[in-house]
Structure 1
Amino acid sequence: MVNSVIYATKKGSAEIYAKAFAQKKNYPIYEHKQVLSEDLIDAEKIYYFASVYAGSLLGIEELKKKVPKNSQLTILPVGLSSANDHEKLAEIREGIVKVFPQAKIIHLRGRLNKEQLKLPEKLIIKMISKSSRKKSEQEKLDIEKAIEQVDTTGSVDYLDLAELVNID
């Protein structure tokens, strides 16, 4: 039996975490679109690092078709929400549990650079930021503060590879 790492990313944060983790553990690593069911047939544990977009995990439905039923699955959503964003994290967790009820879930924070965004994504950032600015600082979620920062400064970076130490 082997352990495997899979990642799904659009802007790179999940890939950075996944590659660092796979290298540290000496596990094979796959991009979610390239991994085949056959690649995972002997996997005892599978670690899935995936970007969060609008509260959903990138590639989770495709993963369901590829993961063997007997594998232990750890899902690592990577987004801008912090541990303080309880409702947002609960929404993400709920979406994961619908697909993988037995998965262990560990949230990680990523980064976002406005230059990487396409026009529709930039408009969404602008809208969320504008809405967030109407709230008091105490009312804002950490994700809203991060999006405001992306809108005003162009980027935010919460990547913390030291977090990988806590993953077994």
Structure 2
Amino acid sequence: MTTIVIYATKKGSSEIYAREFANSRHYPILEQAQVTSKELITARNIYYFGSVYAGKVLGLEEWKKKIDDKKEMTIVSVGLSSKNDQEKLAEIQKGISEDFPEAATVHLRGRLVKEQMKLPEKLIVKMISMASKKKIEQEKFDIEKAIEQVVDVSCVDFIDLAELDRII
């Protein structure tokens, strides 16, 4: 095995992207928790799809301990921030660079469905939405607008499988 696709997700966006990417390129795919040391040893190239929570890519800190520096890594962060949210994307990139400075990175937009969230997540989303609604429209990040939409209509979905073409 020379290339492997791994994903870490809580709500499914990263898995959707990872499965489509792996299937279209005929790469094996595994959920992060299923990956064995044998698979890591035989992989030369790793594509890691991880959901973003609080500006961090899910599971990356754990992977730093498991993956040696000789692997070629592409880390695909999946979250609600858009390319317009440069400050938020810089925060995500900084977190990735701290653990994997040599990794190639791509950010894709995901989705968020209110029914999939647990009560603490719903409360956090509601608080973010309330704070965002106090801002003037031009000062809001796209992620804040998306969170407002989740609160108001219970779902946002920015998944665009055509964006996978940006991944080399």
Q: Find the aligned partners of 1:86 and 1:105 in 2 and give their Cα distance.
A: 14
- Residue 34 of structure 1 deviates from its aligned partner by 1.2
What are the Cα deviations for residues 76-129 of structure 1, in whole angstroms up to 9, with x where unaligned? 000000001011011111111111111111000000000000000000010000
| SS, match of residue 44 in structure 2 | strand
Equivalent pairs, count: 168
* Identity in percent: 63
Are 1:111 and 2:102 an aligned pair?
A: no
Counterpart in the other structure of 1:95: 95
Query: Once superposed, what is the RMSD of the aligned Cα atoms?
Result: 0.9
Q: Output the TM-score relative to the length of structure 2.
A: 0.97
| SS, match of residue 124 in structure 1 | helix
Are 1:123 and 2:108 an aligned pair?
A: no
Amino acid at match of 1:45: N
Q: Find the aligned partners of 1:167 and 1:60 in 2 and give their Cα distance.
A: 19
Q: Find the aligned partners of 1:37 and 1:94 in 2 and give their Cα distance.
A: 27
| SS, match of residue 70 in structure 1 | coil
Q: Find the aligned partners of 1:153 and 1:39 in 2 and give their Cα distance.
A: 42
Give unpaired runs (5+ residues) of structure 2: none
Q: Find the aligned partners of 2:109 and 2:72 in 1 and give their Cα distance.
A: 23
Please give the residue correspondences for 1:18-37 in structure 2 after superposition, counting only pairs within 5 Å: 18-37=18-37
Are 1:82 and 2:82 an aligned pair?
A: yes
Structure (1 or 2) with the greater helix fraction: 2
Give unpaired runs (5+ residues) of structure 1: none
Q: Output the TM-score relative to the length of structure 1.
A: 0.97
